[in-house]
Structure 1
């Protein structure tokens, strides 16, 4: 799960592109979206482990509202390949700039950190590395294999960039056989120009579809944020697009605006609307749908993986019974 680079003296521009955007109104959060400040003993212990190993977590970098809950349980999602992203998506709070070279020792260091934290399920993500010829694919693969070598019973979930215009990159990652391959669509296609300008919607759909073609045993997963101005029918169409790519698991959560320079929250979606999305998603054939205001890609990842396996086994059982 991640970074051992010492970036304390690295050039780091928080959001150069966002600095020139006009301030956006920050809406007051409704009661159902508020969380308690992280103050538990477990949270403090996890923070100390992260600090002492010079690790980078997406929990902190992206300002995740669930950090208190997850870190109390010693669950964390780590970022590899540094903490500086080559893209500047309008929703994201991760720093943008020129990344440092990769640390060749990072995969082994990550594996040791997983062992020390006693993780049975680990989530590995990264910044976008458009500066690398393979987008960081080999580094993902090396990290997966290093974790497996030292932690053979730990299941591995990865949340990857889109590897746009990086031929052969996806194949490198899939060959390392992660248990779950997650790549987030983030939002509906009509929002891409303003929310995710460096990405291409149908490229991301095809990426997820290709994972299944290369290795059907790998669970595939994708997530979106709502409250960015999307229409309900757009979300339902996106669900159909994911199912056409045979994606197993979808997550839906409320977008929260990190700063006034980021994309504005257009709406706070109610818990009832989230529940409706979950119900519809399950009828469309997903093995699992997690949909709530505070749902995030890696929230409850270990528990969700167990549910995914159980759902697949039940699906296979029913299919075998029907064909008998």
Structure 2
């Protein structure tokens, strides 16, 4: 496996090198950016922000947020769109969950996104490491909203169950692209398998989790294929959708066939909402965890998770422990 990116599987002459005016990256001008960068370096953490060359990392770090990537920085897959290096992974670091938890405390986070490289070298695909990280974060910061962005664990139900037993509030697994392009875009992954993983995750906790998925546009997909993918996600009980522009990390990655206009992204957003998605983020620079905290899971999800966690700890649950919305005085009169 090469650490320089996957072999080209699509005609490179399709690539559009010139970026349009709406693809702009904001450079850091906020002290919080340097503070976040320093903390990540100090705790020896890996972020998908840097590893995947996210165009929003300047903005997010400037707001004191980051998406933490656990289980190392070397992926066992070589997807045609991804900048994360492909190589033989290192051993898992047993203290990494504690370091992630420390970061949430020091950054005073209210919402955390935890993702990981694909670890096909591990029997559980890294699921236990996810579980340990979720548990560690919750112990340090009990009120935090925990979102996980996971690989497919090769559709091993028992591995997926390890993650769901830790009770994340939001379960995210990206479809990435339409069904026709999946074999070109995603190494080893399968379109139907991803849909199945999303549905199983929700069923494992009796529906008490918000499920989320995302797609990149500009890889040559057709409009009707995008709409079909939306329908497929809804049919598998996914309620949160992200749509963003694919940007080529290196010349060895898949070409950008088309730059989608912001107006088109807005149209897709309205279509998705009309179809029944509860929350949609759609725009050229949108990524899976971009402004993730803008979405808050349903109240029944929060109540169920809090109730189950307290019960497992032998604590009696009372109304004061639930994440109930504040009642405005005007509503009581």
TM-score by length of 1: 0.88
The structure 1 residue matched to 2:269, chosen from 274, 278, 286, is 278
1:36 Cα deviation (Å)? 2.4
1:39 Cα deviation (Å)? 3.8
**Aligned pair 1:15/2:36, yes or no?**
no
Single out whichever of 32-41 and 81-90 deviates more from structure 2: 32-41
**Aligned pair 1:126/2:126, yes or no?**
no
Whole-angstrom distance in 1 between the partners of 2:43 and 2:118: 22
Residue 158 of structure 1: SS of its match in structure 2? Answer: strand
Whole-angstrom distance in 1 between the partners of 2:258 and 2:107: 38
Instruction: Please name the residue that 1:152 is paired with.
Output: 142
1:60 Cα deviation (Å)? 0.4
CA RMSD in angstroms, aligned pairs only: 2.0
Whole-angstrom distance in 1 between the partners of 2:10 and 2:279: 37
1:14 Cα deviation (Å)? 2.4
Instruction: Please name the residue that 1:320 is paired with.
Output: none
Contact 1:53 1:113 in 2 (8 A): yes
Instruction: Please name the residue that 1:243 is paired with.
Output: 234
Instruction: Please name the residue that 2:76 is paired with.
Output: 86
Instruction: Please name the residue that 2:204 is paired with.
Output: 214
Give the gaps of 5 or more residues in structure 1: 1-11, 314-324
Whole-angstrom distance in 2 between the partners of 1:205 and 1:165: 10
Whole-angstrom distance in 2 between the partners of 1:57 and 1:178: 19
Whole-angstrom distance in 1 between the partners of 2:300 and 2:169: 15
Residue 215 of structure 2: SS of its match in structure 1? Answer: strand
1:17 Cα deviation (Å)? 3.9
Whole-angstrom distance in 2 between the partners of 1:312 and 1:79: 25
Cα gap change, 1:173 to 1:304, in 2 (>3 Å): same
Contact 2:26 2:56 in 1 (8 A): no
TM-score by length of 2: 0.86
1:212 Cα deviation (Å)? 1.6
Whole-angstrom distance in 1 between the partners of 2:247 and 2:5: 20
Whole-angstrom distance in 1 between the partners of 2:181 and 2:104: 36
Per-residue Cα deviation, 1:203-253 (whole angstroms, up to 9, x for no partner): 000110111211211000000000000000000000000000110100000
Cα gap change, 1:19 to 1:209, in 2 (>3 Å): closer
Pairing of 1:45-194 with structure 2 (within 5 A)? 45-194=35-184
Contact 1:57 1:79 in 2 (8 A): yes
Residue 180 of structure 2: SS of its match in structure 1? Answer: helix
The structure 2 residue matched to 1:302, chosen from 293, 299, 308, is 293
Instruction: Please name the residue that 2:278 is paired with.
Output: 287
Contact 1:249 1:287 in 2 (8 A): yes
1:22 Cα deviation (Å)? 8.4
Whole-angstrom distance in 2 between the partners of 1:21 and 1:190: 13
Whole-angstrom distance in 1 between the partners of 2:223 and 2:199: 24
Cα gap change, 1:266 to 1:67, in 2 (>3 Å): same
Cα gap change, 1:229 to 1:72, in 2 (>3 Å): same
1:27 Cα deviation (Å)? 1.7
Whole-angstrom distance in 2 between the partners of 1:14 and 1:26: 24
